Structure 1
Amino acid sequence: MVLFISLELLIWRSGAVALANCPTGCNCNDDTLVVVCEESRLDVLPIALNPSIQRLIIRNNKIKTIDSSMQFYTELQHLDLSQNHLVNIPMNSFAYQHKIQELHLNHNKISSVTNTTFQGLTSLTVLNLKRNFLEELTNGVFSTLPRLEELNLGQNRISRIEPRAFAGLSALRILYLDDNQLSTVPTNSFSLLGSLAELHVGLNAFSFLPDDAFAGLNRLAVLDLNGAGLFNISDNAFRGLPGLRSLNLVGNRLSVVPTQQLSGLTRLEELTIGQNDFLVLESHSFKGLKNLKLLDITGATQLERIEKGAFEDNINLESITLANNKKLSVLEDCTLLGLPKLKHVSLKDNAILTLRETVFVGKELRQLDLSENPIFCDCQLLWLEELLNDKSNFTQIQCASPEHLKDKYLRTLNAEDLGCVLHDTRQQTIICIVVVACVAAIFTIVLILYKYRKSMHEKLKDYKWNKGRKNLDYHKPISTEEDCIVRGIHPSQYPAPPPHTPGLRPIPVTEL
């Protein structure tokens, strides 16, 4: 009992000492084994913390190097030294940190790393070196990190990557190389990353994607080329990416939609391609993308028109965003028809004056945004007014013109306000159908008469001849030789006529 009490007292005193040594401005919790020091003006790593801590967060301080005090914290699983003044990391700084799983060194001034920098971090899965001063990646620089799954090298100054820089990263799934100074895609380096699922290489200066630019990345599902400076894409640039699900081509300088280049990505589900320089979305612009579900074209400043059939090959589309395209004024008839799964449409902040009912059928939509367009409210929008009243979750649409309807909400207007002569659009449709049916029937009759005109003419002649013959037979006198023979009386047996009496006319005997 005495021994047990003594042990409890020792543990309590060690905890009390640890709390007593917690630096000013830090929060030390010996129950959760977490120490947080944010904006505490520390310029060196604390040396007297509880050696059992598992999470050490020293963010936004003034630490310039990682010194030998790190060896005392062998139980660490999470270390965050972001937003400090680290210039370099001495060799073997993490020799005793075999349990660290996450290491955050982002927002510092680290200019170089070598294959000895991370020695000892055999359990590391996440390494964040974003926003430092790295200029190159040498062969095998990360070879001591066999379990690394996520590597963030974004916002550095990397212009050169040696072919075997990523050697040993067989478990890597997410790689950020965005916002660097790469002029060409480091294809040879990527070929070692057979397990990579996400690649972010936007905001570089590629200008051109050659054939097989991402060869070897057979499991890649997400490719981000946002702002990569692309003018041109080779026809086979995306070859070897059979499982790609998401592609970001925003902010490049493409003058046309790369239809041929995208057509091989048959499993693509999300495509973001705004802020490019194309003028029109032509028919079959996204041919081959039969599994596409989400399409986002935002901020295409030159886009003016979307042609009928632009999305004809994409019957699985669920969401279309065509927003903030300042010159987009024309959506041709049937542009959004034939898309049975379409639920979300955003046409916000374009140059659309009016929208015909034949552009799409809106009754199946869950969301429709037509706000911030210079809408001209007249009878052509009566169908849209009725749709807005049926769908309470659709965004409000304000009229920009004519002047007497300016700033009024379309939902609050009626047929008379919109200047409609025939209020019921369904009645117009019925009348049109009846007229078309009558014209079709008349045309069919005329066609039949023309086709059988000769046979009908012959039958008509036969009919007239037979009718005339019957009438003639009916008025024929019985005294003729033929009638007699028919009745069985020979002319020799017929009595002689009486002598002619002057003043009397013979009365003819007719057949009754």
Structure 2
Amino acid sequence: MSIVTESTSTERKNECRERIIHNQKVLNCSHRNLPYIPKTQQTTRNCRCCILQHENTFNGLLREFNNLKALFLNDNYIENIKLSQIKHLKNLYLNYNKLRLFPDFSINGSEKDCYFPNLEILAVVSNDIKKIASDNFKCLLKLKAPSLDKNPIKVLPNNLLSKLPNLEILQLRFLLTDNLTLKPFAFKSASLKMLQFEFNRPATALFDSFNDAFRFVPNLETLKLGFISMLLLTNQQLSALFSPLANISMFKCFACQISQDPKVILNSMRIVIEVDLQSNRITTLSDETFKNNKHLKYLSLRYNDIAHIQESALPVSLLNNLHSLDLSQNPCVCDCNLEWLINWMKA
């Protein structure tokens, strides 16, 4: 029979546990309320992934983990960071902290010397970062996917992504500010492939330039927009905004209050495979709507205001090419003019 003293019990409670995640050994210190980082020599030296959540302090821990590839520091009270070089680190998660400034990853301001030279994924979701600039990314030459959601950023400046030659994915959702301005060349990037941009504000107040907003992302394949009101945009403005997106394969505009025939948006998207226009105000489809979208396979017009659909708007050549069609939650009038669609569905 063993006797567990109070000190032994507390010590065990504060111990970090090893887990296996994606075939990697992980040191999990989540939900431990630790006032310090436990130093277990053998574990720290061999650890490749570390999860530290709800910590009160972590300054100085980085130099204990020279071989880290993934570091999770979510759900803490971190206001600033004292960095030490970790050459193997690829994934860094600083979500839900108190950062007021974007961390400076450069060593002594150098664009060549970096604390995390191999960093590929950086998440700083839900902090208190109000300003972002291209210099914040200097030396992060291998960064592929930064996530800046839920920060009170007020301006997305020109050439924001200019120092990220390997950028592939950018997420900017629900920025916590009433007034966000998107400068004309903010998204300029030769490598960006996927952009997710959601912000509850009229497009007329958000975009400084409709002509240039997406003009300088030549390799963009996926564009997901959400909650940006386009109700007051003219056909000319919509065309200017979306006409540069010739290489798009997936396009989503959720709850953007689009009321026009979407042909003005889709005309230039000649190789698009998936179109998602859920929760808009579209009332009309025409024989011009999908005329140029010969490769379309997935189409969602769920939750719009479409009452009548002419057969010429969705010709058999288009329908037979589709893998998925969602017209649910539209006030469609079930009359003889819709018989052609019902017959196609039965065929």
TM-score range, shorter chain: 0.7 to 0.9
Partner of 2:308: 330
Aligned 1:87-486 pairs, distance under 5 A: 87-90=56-59, 92-113=60-81, 117-137=82-102, 139-140=104-105, 143-204=114-175, 205=177, 207-215=180-188, 217-227=189-199, 229-232=201-204, 233=207, 234=209, 235-255=211-231, 256=233, 258-300=238-280, 302-325=281-304, 327-337=305-315, 339=318, 341-354=321-334, 378-390=335-347
Comparing 204-213 with 316-325, which one deviates more in the overlay? 204-213
Give the aligned residue type for 1:229.
R
Contact preservation (8 Å) 1:307, 1:332: yes
Give the aligned residue type for 2:93.
N
TM-score under structure 1 length normalisation: 0.57
Give the aligned residue type for 1:224.
Q
Instruction: Give how far 1:161 is off.
Output: 2.4
Contact preservation (8 Å) 2:159, 2:185: no
Contact preservation (8 Å) 2:297, 2:322: yes
Q: Report the Cα distance in structure 1 between the residues aligned to 2:258 and 2:212, rounded to whole angstroms.
A: 21
Q: Report the Cα distance in structure 2 between the residues aligned to 1:132 and 1:281, rounded to whole angstroms.
A: 43
* Higher RCO (C-alpha 8 Å, min separation 6): 2
Give the aligned residue type for 1:342.
L
* Alpha-carbon distance change, 330 to 181 in structure 1, aligned in 2, over 3 angstroms: farther
* Alpha-carbon distance change, 262 to 119 in structure 1, aligned in 2, over 3 angstroms: same
Percent identical:
20
- 3-state SS in 2 of match to 1:201: strand
* Alpha-carbon distance change, 88 to 321 in structure 1, aligned in 2, over 3 angstroms: same
Structure 2: tracts of 5 or more residues without a match: 1-8, 108-113
* Counterpart check, 1:23 vs 2:12: yes
Comparing 302-311 with 126-135, which one deviates more in the overlay? 302-311
* Alpha-carbon distance change, 70 to 330 in structure 1, aligned in 2, over 3 angstroms: farther
- 3-state SS in 2 of match to 1:248: strand
Q: Report the Cα distance in structure 1 between the residues aligned to 2:91 and 2:79, rounded to whole angstroms.
A: 20
TM-score under structure 2 length normalisation: 0.81
Q: Report the Cα distance in structure 2 between the residues aligned to 1:384 and 1:237, rounded to whole angstroms.
A: 38
Deviations along 1:28-67, whole A, 9 cap, x unmatched?
6xxxxx358xxxxxxxxxxxxxxxx942112223124446
Instruction: Give how far 1:309 is off.
Output: 0.9
Structure 1: tracts of 5 or more residues without a match: 1-19, 29-33, 37-52, 355-377, 391-512
Instruction: Give how far 1:280 is off.
Output: 1.9
Structure number, greater radius of gyration: 1
- 3-state SS in 1 of match to 2:241: helix
Which structure dedicates a bigger proportion of its chain to strand?
Answer: 2
* Alpha-carbon distance change, 268 to 70 in structure 1, aligned in 2, over 3 angstroms: farther
Contact preservation (8 Å) 2:149, 2:174: yes
* Alpha-carbon distance change, 189 to 70 in structure 1, aligned in 2, over 3 angstroms: farther
Instruction: Give how far 1:250 is off.
Output: 1.4
Q: Report the Cα distance in structure 2 between the residues aligned to 1:332 and 1:25, rounded to whole angstroms.
A: 67
Deviations along 1:399-452, whole A, 9 cap, x unmatched?
xxxxxxxxxxxxxxxxxxxxxxxxxxxxxxxxxxxxxxxxxxxxxxxxxxxxxx
Q: Report the Cα distance in structure 2 between the residues aligned to 1:279 and 1:135, rounded to whole angstroms.
A: 39
* Alpha-carbon distance change, 237 to 379 in structure 1, aligned in 2, over 3 angstroms: closer
- 3-state SS in 2 of match to 1:330: coil
Q: Report the Cα distance in structure 1 between the residues aligned to 2:145 and 2:302, rounded to whole angstroms.
A: 30
Q: Report the Cα distance in structure 2 between the residues aligned to 1:270 and 1:299, rounded to whole angstroms.
A: 17
* Counterpart check, 1:58 vs 2:29: yes
Instruction: Give how far 1:237 is off.
Output: 1.2
Q: Report the Cα distance in structure 1 between the residues aligned to 2:96 and 2:158, rounded to whole angstroms.
A: 23
Instruction: Give how far 1:341 is off.
Output: 2.9
Instruction: Give how far 1:167 is off.
Output: 1.4
* Alpha-carbon distance change, 308 to 383 in structure 1, aligned in 2, over 3 angstroms: closer
Contact preservation (8 Å) 1:26, 1:35: no
Deviations along 1:140-170, whole A, 9 cap, x unmatched?
4683000100000112221012542211111
Which structure dedicates a bigger proportion of its chain to helix?
Answer: 1
